[in-house]
Structure 1
Amino acid sequence: MNAPAQHPPAVRTTCPYCGVGCGVLAKPDSHGGAVIAGDPEHPANFGRLCSKGSALGETLGPETRLLHPMVQSGGALVRTSWDHALDRVANGFARTAREHGPDSVAFYLSGQLLSEDYYVANKLMKGFIGTANVDTNSRLCMASSVAGHRRAFGADTVPGCYADLDRADLIVLVGSNAAWCHPVLYQRMMANKRERGAKLIVIDPRRTATAEEADLFLAVAPGMDTALFCGLLVHLSETQAFDFAYIDVHTTGFAEALTRAQDIAPDVKKTATLTGLATADVARFFEMFTSTPKVVTCYSQGVNQSAQGTDKVTSIINCHLATGRIGRAGMGPFSLTGQPNAMGGREVGGLANQLAAHMTFGHESVDRVGRFWNAKAMARREGLKAVDMFDAISRGEIKALWVMATNPAVSLPRAGHVRAALEKLDLLVISDNVAGNDTVRANAHVLLPAAAWGEKDGTVTNSERRISRQRAFLPLPGEAKPDWWIVTQVARRMGFAEAFAYQSAADVFREHAALSAFENHGTRAFDIGGLASLSDDEFDGLKPVQWPARTATPHEDSRFFAEGGFFTPDGKARMIAPEMPRPHAALSPEFPFRLNTGRIRDQWHTMTRTGLSPKLGGHLPEPFVEVHPDDAMQAGLVAGGFARVTSPYGSCVLKVIISEGQRCGSLFAPIHWSGETASSARIGELVTPATDPYSGQPEAKATPATIEPVAFKYRGFALSRGRLSLPEPTWWARAAVARGQGLLLASNDTPEAWRAISASMFAGTEIAEFVDAIGDIYRMAAFADGRLVGCLFVGPSGNAPQWDVVKSLFEAEAVGETQRRGMLSGKSTDGIADPGPVVCACFGVGLNTICNALADGTAANVESIGKALRAGTNCGSCLPELKKLVSQRSVDHVRAAQAV
């Protein structure tokens, strides 16, 4: 009798998406994938995952992977050996540094890297090559928080922890669409609101899903966060709400900060004028903050991604310092980090203006790190931050660049300029796990296959300073290697073998931990010396732990600064007088709008991972621009149509969404689409390169822009088992579908022209067609062995074909004759209901399914929708949409009754 198959146990690891740092249970499925669930024992999420985390199992396939080292030869990338590729990298960097000086080389890193990867790369550049030209895509998301923390606290230290979100009586969200971008934390806030009666204030120029549950929503004018919190500081003074005992003992600069606040926003009325808010709403915010001791103010990209981001952070921190509401349960300023290891990258010196272990470029710190590393070529000054780094590449000053785990040709401001700069490099090295992205296609000379999530082994640090393990549960595919190993091998070939003798991620972690405690004596906040002596087995079993984890007391304080103890020379916090809020780049008749960029619910960064998930691709599959109804009317835009958005730096063509939540005079477009996933949607090409003078973080929220309608006569879609390419100048957007690829398209080519195109697209298959010459409709389905392997549907834009039912047939093993006819007729087919666009990505529940349940009485409210369909019962990020549907249903019932 055969023994039952033995399945490997679930592996505890950490989600690779946002800075919440959720614990994941990954159970390999013996087919190269894994079953994914939340880890109920992880203190960041207690088992809950968002839609992206829940869909991780759909992103583990080998289809897009870079599996072997490749080098450019004869204008093409060809496979090579690891030895040859590593020699070329090491010799190229050594030669460039020798001939042009160490500042002629640079690394551009990523918050997707593990701390061990980050540490080794930082050590090689800053300690042994001798330049601090090491920066990271975290510069684009949290550098202003770092600068604000360092100015105020003397160190990049987040004072609080997630438990404060459970215990606060007032939560203020500033520039944060947490319902979509940090949904696990947002649901934690909602639980506090539901169970303890906590109040929620949302401050954002745009009314997002997060605002749907707000007790007060403040649609602040773009860039005016500093004015709002300066007005709050003045109000706290006038109502005698300051904690003078705390101010006197634990802060300096109070008088100057208050005086500047009075200059900027001397009263409620002036604050309202500056911020574009109603005076009554401003007064209510001030009163709620003043009268509620337990306040947590969470801020995210809307604050950070600004040319005045550091001052915005400062103005928030000032209000907490002035009231002593910091470091205590349920109180404090809290930065919601964008990437899974943005915090860990900061800890190991991944930013150009930091050394490892949160040390700076002061003489004492440079000497200390140099002695610890036994480094003879320590960098002694800050390097170039991201935007400046790529400008230096464009000028020819940086000649060799190594990009790790990021896609700057899409994500950086003025992305077209970045792409052109990359093509000027003498040596462009990319280590990544994807075979192709926009950066790879910008003249890469060496490609190095890196381990991906599920194969990596090391640590990450989340937004509350909690270090968690990412553990491997899949074998390394092809010849892929961990990033720390790749950098170590290059360092050895450059002559630094003794300093880079690591044999495992654990070796790197122990050195990193030991450096954090080296000559520390409590003078530096970041100290994990208590973890420096972990054995390999102890490292493997390391449970999530917050820092500090000092040698003497490895698991002490989870909060900082309740009793002062700041990391400044005198131990006091600095209350900084912010600069007067500066006007953004001036608008003009040519560029009369402000372009605001950001994220959507079910996608991540440039979609190299989430773009592989059919579940995630169903919610908002097309790149879009969101416009206020009044602006849409004036510009001649229609919902579901197309528009060209243009700035001084570039243009994109995007689908139009008209929304009352969008601020009049502003446009919103998401950042995720690239040249790999859409024809004209690389939104970074439009973004201004203006940066914050203190943090170097780019302004991604207020680029001057214009918008105009674009007309396409025809729209449609194509589905295929393999990758399809469409003729120019077709507008297209690529989305993952089960067992293949989908393209949504728009064109001025006639259906007859598409009929000719389809013949070449699906040559060698059995073709079934439907042609309506009068109606300008063409539908084609390609079959092989009775299985639907591709299709192309094109029709007039006013009656664009929908693909939801056809996608269902595409997933089937075989399609019967009746279903073939029904599909080509454009009608729903036997046994296949049309679910409509996805609303709940976690469980794949469509709009039509939900509306039908409401219509037939299966569900009457959000709770019953959850019971009947499961929608909204996992991460909760679709709950705002569900509530809107229920509300609209109620309104329709009332109108129907009134009509009777």
Structure 2
Amino acid sequence: MRCAVGCGHVHRGVDIGVGVDVARGDPAHPTNEGLACGRGIRESTDPEGEWLTRPMVRRGDELVPTTWDVALGEAINGLRRAAEDDPDAVAVLGSGQQTNEAAYALGKLARGALGTRNYGANTTLCMASAVAAYYDAFGSDAPPPTYDDVPDAETHLVWGANPAVAHPVMFRWIHDSAGDDDSELIVVDPVETKTAGAADHHVAPDPGTDLALARAVLARLVADDGVDRAFVDAHTEGFDDLLAVLPDAADAAAEAGVDLADVDLLCSALDAPTLLYWGMGVNQHVQGTDTASALVDLCLASGNLGPGSGPFSLTGQANSMGTRVCSSKGTWPGHRDFDDPTARRDVASAWGVPVDRLPDDPGPGPVGMLDSVGDEVEAIYAVATNPAAGMPDATAVREALDEAFLVVQDAFSTETTELADVVLPAATWGESEGTTTNMERTISRVRRVTDPPSGVRTDLDLIATVGEALEPGLFPSKAPAAVFEEFAALTRGTLADCSGISYERLDEEHAVRWPAPDASSHAGYRYYDADADPSTGDERWSFPTPSGRARFSAATFEGVAEPVSESYPLTLTTAREGDGYNTGVRSRSTDPDPATVRVHPESAPVGDGEAVEIESRRGAITATLAVDAAVPEGVAWLPIHHPATNVLTTKQRDPTGEPNFKQCAVRLEPVEVEERVREEVPA
């Protein structure tokens, strides 16, 4: 698995040695039915990254190979010393690149063995805003629709996402459905992306102004009598509060930098059954939750909730959804609330630890955790994540990582392993057993097709070993099936009930969507009962909110995080490239070429292919300029995977902790010829 679409692959191991020789789509898997993308195949059989094959410890300025006993001993002792007086002195960072079992175990270690508040995952950097929006609207996390709804939608509205690049298999379904005579594809994105190029219509707001545009559309729906009053009155609350603060459509459109004709186009599209997809362009903003909520509001107001319609956030990492359900990061397993004392008692009882050890809030998130290094945090355990490249204001992040006692567990060499005090080499996909959960709540098995290289251990094995040393008896088994069974039992009766899912069932059915409270249940569209008969008093809609109704939000646009100025006249935005995910450790060398910055011809200070310095208020990098009219004037575009990009980005973030990756102010200057020659000539 390479992204959250959750395609099933069939792998064949090499004949001699270790590794994956052949990978292809699995025709028997119900998600993709044999389809596969080039990146998913290539990263399985021929990843570009530098594999880690030996545990290492720091001796002076160098990382040196060592034995597992020495590496694990130093890691365990360092974490134990830091937590001795204050459990919050240890920060734990997880990832959407772990199996469900490893994610569950890491949460058990962080919350149960250590008792630290300072636990999070890189999934917060991309999906926390969407998660909060779902909770605010529906009382529970995850999109209501599923992939089954894609063929039935007539309008496919893709907002702040580029699935043609990031989710190619899913985009094929979207594009096929949009190609029907009564259907269309509309893209909202400042940049003319590959997805926008395939669309029937492209609306291009200014970067960071999506909330203003969403409110303009809703205001126009209200003015043009486009609101589904029957649905709103029967199944929602808070609409009048929203109307009281709703801006004028023309004013909001002007804030977003679009014409009213574009607003009317979007209003008209919502008349038909609409799936509204969104991605990082919406989430990664200081008002990410507000913006995602405003898109949900559009679905509620237009009656676009139900089969063939609804809000559908596009998750990035392969197991981001699993991390949200399993890991005890933002909620206890099964989406149990942190501030629910009954949930804390149940979890403490299941783990056999004192209830007062478990934190009663989820903590500050990854950015806040690293901000507290040198004050509260003394040690960090990072698993399958690369914060030195993947977090905003990367120079400050690297300084914090360098100051802390740092244990890094990964399959590949990264900018973060270079700073580590202890490096634990871990197995990756094709070398591990377990399960994952895709963006539409479907759990699938992953199986080992090849042994890990000699000297490499699985994430689950390593986490359980460290956790058991910190809290003896906490991990009675390291077997993936036993860990999954323990996790699933903890979800029984919750909104994300997985207790009806087992390895045996997954072996039989390949994949099962939660909630699955028993061994025969198959979940579909959330909160909706297609068999209910309203004429007999049955409710077709039921939301897990106090009132049983879906809730509108009432936020309005407050401006971008970092406006341009005379000193920094360009807006930097970031996005994925076709061959990269996360920080690109599978698809690039450890010493990559300079980043390529895409700039409109009118904003380019040098010619195509020439070197340019990009500077923000936090730092500067050298990049190669690509003149590209697909990028709007006044905007610079950089790939989010490149390890230099986040030297520039701002730590400003949404209340959920999700950073504002998509917009900051920069300037571009030519790199003098003498400086380039000096950099290129070896000392």
Larger mean Cα displacement after TM superposition, 43-52 or 638-647: 43-52
| CA distance in 1: counterparts of 2:364 and 2:509, whole angstroms | 35
Does the 8 Å contact 1:86/1:490 carry over to 2? yes
Rate the CA distance shift 1:122–1:168 in 2: closer, same or farther, 3 A.
Answer: same
Paired residues for 1:258-657 under 5 Å = 258-261=243-246, 264=247, 266-267=248-249, 269-289=250-270, 291-292=271-272, 294-326=273-305, 328-351=306-329, 353-362=330-339, 363-376=341-354, 377-393=357-373, 395-425=374-404, 427-434=405-412, 436-442=413-419, 444-497=420-473, 499-517=474-492, 520=493, 524-531=494-501, 534=502, 538=505, 543-551=510-518, 553-561=520-528, 563-611=540-588, 623-632=595-604, 635=605, 637-657=606-626
Find the counterpart in structure 2 of residue 821 from structure 1.
none
Separation of aligned partners in 2, 1:503 and 1:509: 10
CA shift, 1:399, in A, is 0.4
The amino acid that maps onto 1:358 is H
In structure 2, what is the equivalent of residue 72 of structure 1?
Answer: 58
* Matching residue of 1:85: 71
Matched AA of 2:665: P
Aligned counterparts of 2:403 and 2:675: Cα–Cα separation in 1: 40
Deviation at 1:370, TM superposition (A): 1.8
Mapped partners of 1:494, 1:29: distance in 2: 38
The secondary structure found in structure 2 opposite 1:223 is: coil
Q: Does the aligned pair in 1 maintain the 2:563–2:664 contact within 8 Å?
A: no
CA–CA distance in structure 1, aligned partners of residues 545 and 678 of structure 2: 58
Distance apart, 1:57 and its partner CA: 4.3
Q: What is the Cα deviation at residue 68 of structure 1?
A: 2.3
| Structure 2 counterpart of 1:546, one-letter code | R
Shift of 1:259: 2.2
Change in 2 beyond 3 A, CA 1:369/1:246:
farther
| Secondary structure of the structure 2 residue equivalent to 1:142 | helix
Q: Can you list the C-alpha shifts for 1:159-187, whole angstroms capped at 9, x where unaligned?
A: 01112222110010100111111111111
Q: Please, which of 647, 664, 669 is the counterpart of residue 685 of structure 1?
A: 647
The code of the aligned residue for 2:256 comes to T
Aligned equivalents of 2:640, 2:153: Cα separation in 1: 32
Does the aligned pair in 2 maintain the 1:59–1:612 contact within 8 Å?
no
Contact residue 119 and residue 362 of structure 2 kept, 8 A? no
Q: What is the Cα deviation at residue 361 of structure 1?
A: 1.4
Deviations 1:776-808 (A, max 9, x none): xxxxxxxxxxxxxxxxxxxxxxxxxxxxxxxxx
The one-letter code of the counterpart of 1:666 is V
Match of 1:740 in 2: none
Aligned partner of 1:139 in structure 2 is: 124
Contact 2:203 2:262 in 1 (8 A): yes
Is the 8 Å Cα contact of residues 136 and 350 (structure 1) preserved in structure 2?
Answer: no
Residue identity matched to 1:81: T
Secondary structure of 1:201's partner? strand
Distance 1:236 1:178 in 2: 27
CA distance in 2, matches of 1:184, 1:655: 31
Q: Specify the code of the residue in structure 1 equivalent to 2:585.
A: T
Match status 1:184 vs 2:169: yes
What TM-score, normalized to structure 2? 0.93
What is the DSSP-based 3-state SS (H/G/I as helix, E as strand, rest coil) of the residue aligned with 1:705?
strand
Equivalent residues of 1:36, 1:56 under 8 A apart: no
Q: Secondary structure at the match of 2:372?
A: helix
Paired AA for residue 379 in structure 1: P
Q: Give how far 1:572 is off.
A: 1.7
Q: Deviations over 1:182-231 (max 9, x none)?
A: 11111111111224542011001111111112221111112221122212
The offset of 1:712, in angstroms, is: 4.4
Aligned equivalents of 2:76 and 2:628: distance in 1?
A: 52
Q: 1:862 corresponds to which residue? A: none
2:344 touches 2:358 (CA, 8 Å); kept in 1? yes
SS of match in other structure, 1:126: helix
- Distance apart, 1:233 and its partner CA: 1.8
Is the CA contact 1:506–1:539 (under 8 Å) kept in the aligned structure 2?
A: no
Looking at structure 1, the residues matched to 560 and 666 of structure 2 have their Cα atoms a distance apart, in angstroms, of 16
Q: Quote the offset at 1:542 in angstroms.
A: 5.6
CA gap of 1:729–1:372, structure 2 versus 1, over 3 A, is: farther
CA deviation after TM superposition for structure 1 residue 325, in Å: 1.6
Closer, same or farther in 2 for the Cα pair 1:706/1:166, shift >3 Å? same
Q: Write the distance in 2 (CA, Å) between the matches of 1:139 and 1:688.
A: 16
| CA distance in 2 between partners of 1:246 and 1:83 (Å) | 62
Deviation at 1:105, TM superposition (A): 0.5
CA displacement, residues 502-524 of structure 1 (integer Å, 9 cap, x when unaligned): 1311111111111110xx2xxx3
2:533 paired residue number? none
Contact 2:283 2:292 in 1 (8 A): yes
Q: Aligned in 2, Cα 1:540/1:713: closer, same or farther, shift over 3 Å?
A: farther
Gaps of at least 5 residues in structure 2 are: 530-539
Residues 190-229 of structure 1: pairs in structure 2 closer than 5 A: 190-229=175-214
1:480: Cα distance to partner?
1.1
Partner of 2:110: 125
1:158 aligns with 2:143: yes
Equivalent pair of 1:233/1:258 in contact (CA under 8 Å): no
Structure 1 stretches lacking a partner, 5+ long: 1-14, 675-681, 716-727, 731-746, 758-900
Does the aligned pair in 2 maintain the 1:33–1:60 contact within 8 Å?
A: no
Evaluate the alpha carbon distance shift between residue 556 and residue 33 of structure 1 in structure 2; reply closer, same or farther with a 3 A threshold. Answer: closer
TM-score by length of 1: 0.71
Distance of 2:263 and 2:657 partners within structure 1: 31
After superposition, the C-alpha distances for 1:282-318 in whole angstroms (9 at most, x for unaligned) are 22221222x21x1000000000111111011110101
Q: How many residues align?
A: 668
Letter of the structure 2 residue corresponding to residue 624 of structure 1:
T
Query: Is the Cα–Cα contact under 8 Å of residues 349 and 358 in structure 1 kept in the other structure?
Result: no
Q: Which residue of 2 aligns with 1:845?
A: none
2:92 corresponds to which letter in structure 1?
Answer: F
Query: What's the Cα RMSD here?
Result: 2.3
Task: Please state whether the residue corresponding to 2:418 is helix, strand or coil.
Answer: coil
SS of structure 2 residue aligned to 1:249: helix
Structure 1 residue 538, shift from structure 2 partner? 4.9
**Matching residue's letter, 2:383:** M
Distance (Å, rounded) in 1 between the aligned partners of 2:456 and 2:678: 37
Bigger relative contact order, structure 1 or 2 (CA pairs below 8 A, ≥6 apart): 2
Larger Rg: 1
1:698 aligns with 2:659: yes
Any conservation in 2 of the 1:127–1:379 contact (CA below 8 Å)?
no
Change (3 A) 1:79 1:541: farther
Secondary structure of the residue that 1:698 maps to in structure 2?
A: coil
CA-CA distance at 1:658 after TM superposition? 1.1
Q: 2:187, 2:43 → 1: CA distance?
A: 30
Distance 1:558 1:286 in 2: 24
Equivalent pair of 1:390/1:418 in contact (CA under 8 Å): yes
- The Cα of 1:558 is off from its aligned counterpart by 4.1
SS of aligned partner of 1:469 = strand
Does the 8 A contact of 1:595 with 1:669 survive in 2? yes
Separation (CA, whole Å) in 2 of partners of 1:297 and 1:500? 42
Structure 2 residue aligned with 1:20: 5
